[in-house]
Each structure stands twice: as C-alpha cells, then as structure tokens.
Amino acid sequence: MALMETHYYSFSMKSNITLNVFIPTPGSDCSITDITNNEKFDYENGLPVIYLLHGAYGDAFSWMRFSNIERYAQKYGVALVMASAGNSFYQDLKGGRSYTKLFTEELPLFIQNVFPVSKDRKKTFIAGFSMGGYGAWYLALTRPDIFGKAASMSGALDIAALFDSKDEKTDVFSWEDCFGDAVKDGNHLKGSKYDLFALYDKAISQGYRPALYQSVGTSDFLYDINQTAKKTLESRGADLTYEEGPGGHDWDFWDKYIQNVLEWFFK
C-alpha cells in the first residue's frame, strides 16, 4: 500500500493545502504475477475512490490516526482522499475559504489527473462522521453528478434542528461564517441551500436518485436528529440504507461502522 502526504496550491483555498492520499498496492497476500489481471489493482482504468471527511476539531490526518481505514481500504482495493476542512461544515465560508468548491470541483479534478483513480461517478464515493457526515451528504447532494454513493456516520443531518439546539458541543462553529444570512437573523436553514432535505428534492428534480447510507449509535447525542432525518427521507421513498447499534459519538463506533460503509459501497 502507498500512503502519500501531498502538498499543493489550492485556488479554492488561496493557500497551500495538505492532502493524504492512499493508493492500494499489492501486498504479501497478492500474487505479484497476477497484478495485471487483478481488477483490484486496475490502475489503467482507474481505481474506485472514497473522499473521507473528518468531524469538528479534525483534519486530514484524523482517519489515519484513529481508525484502521488503510487496512480496510487495502482489502477492497480502493483509493482514499483525506483533506482538512477546519470546522467549516464543508461550506464556502463567508470569510473566503471555499470548501464546497474545493471538494466538488478542484479536488476531484486534481485527484483524477494525478492519481490512478476512476472518473466514473459509480466508482466515486464520499463518507464522513459527525460534521463530516453532514458534509458527505451535503457535497454528494450538491453534486450528484460526481458522487455515486454517500455515507454518513453519526451525522449532523438536520442542520436546522442542530442550530436550534446548539450548546457547548456546537460552540466550536462560526455559524454565520458557514451559513451567512440563513442564521444571521434567526434560523432560516430549513428549506435553504444548506438543508439536506431540500438538496435531496433538488437532486431528484434533476433526475438523480442518490444512494445514501446512515448509521448512528444509540447513545449518540445526535441520535434524535438522525431519527428525524431517517423518517424524512423514508417519507420521500429515498434509497436509504440505515443502521444503528450500541455506541456513542466516538471512534470505537466509527471504526466499526466504516467497515459496513465499505461493504455497502461495493456490494
């Protein structure tokens, strides 16, 4: 396996940024003579790729530090892309740093032209936890032409409800910088361009039916918000795979359920 820490100038961010990119390569369990015939390492046609998003307080190194994602990705022969997004909710911030543009325009183009990954949306996935769970659905529903499947674990999926219930856990976010006028004079997030349910309806109107995955721990402080999201999407007949189980808002849960996400991506 090859893990590369990559630095490049981002026009969206107006600065140099750091990426971590994982490319599966044959290991001791692979027959070296069969590499060219093994679709698991089909560099010529492009590997499937997952954009992995972190949560609040995280960065491009979170997944590698706290999970076994490299080992899981090697098993499936999938490339991984991990980039830092601060506490931005993956938005184009009013202060100037454009995370939505980075993840939906600039980064996929850069990755597809530098690394041996597929340009096919059916092989292009996105997943995240907590803030990154919202981000994965938000970016995939904003650009359903790029991402074939999107997975959220412990996601902040009902952004309007999260804003209404904000407490010390959400004080880390600069809500106005992320969502501008939608929160400046009260909560106008519901039905806005930041609302995942409105984005889902828009994707449907554009001819897409996004495949979505959702999991949450039964002890997670975002459990109720996830139940609301589940019921809302089920009422729309969404292509939604839902799982829950014992656990809270922590890496024990995410490291376990990212394995389920990978299985769902490739089934």
Q: What DSSP string runs through the chain?
A: -EEEEEEEEETTTTEEEEEEEEE----TTS-GGGGGG-GGG-TTT-B-EEEEE--TT--TTHHHHHS-HHHHHHHHT-EEEEE--TTSTT-B-TTS-BHHHIIIIIHHHHHHHHSSB---GGGEEEEEETHHHHHHHHHHHH-TTT-SEEEEES----HHHHHHT--TTTTTS-HHHHHTHHHHTS---TTSTT-HHHHHHHHHHTT---EEEEEEETT-TTHHHHHHHHHHHHHTT-EEEEEEES--SSHHHHHHHHHHHHHHHH-
The tens digit of pLDDT for each residue in 89-126 reads: 999 999 889 999 999 999 999 999 999 999 999 999 99
Is residue 244 included in any domain, yes or no? Answer: yes
- Which residues constitute the domain of residue 66? 2-158+210-266
Say which CATH number the domain at 256 has: 3.40.50.1820
Q: What is the mean pLDDT of residues 168-182?
A: 85
Is residue 194 included in any domain, yes or no? Answer: no
Is residue 195 included in any domain, yes or no? Answer: no
190/175 Cα distance (integer angstroms): 14
The tens digit of pLDDT for each residue in 237-249 reads: 999 999 999 999 9
Is residue 174 included in any domain, yes or no? Answer: no
Q: What is the pTM of this model?
A: 0.94
Domain count, the chain: 1
Is residue 170 included in any domain, yes or no? Answer: no
Is residue 222 included in any domain, yes or no? Answer: yes
Check whether 35 has a pLDDT greater than 60: no
Is residue 192 included in any domain, yes or no? Answer: no
Is residue 149 included in any domain, yes or no? Answer: yes
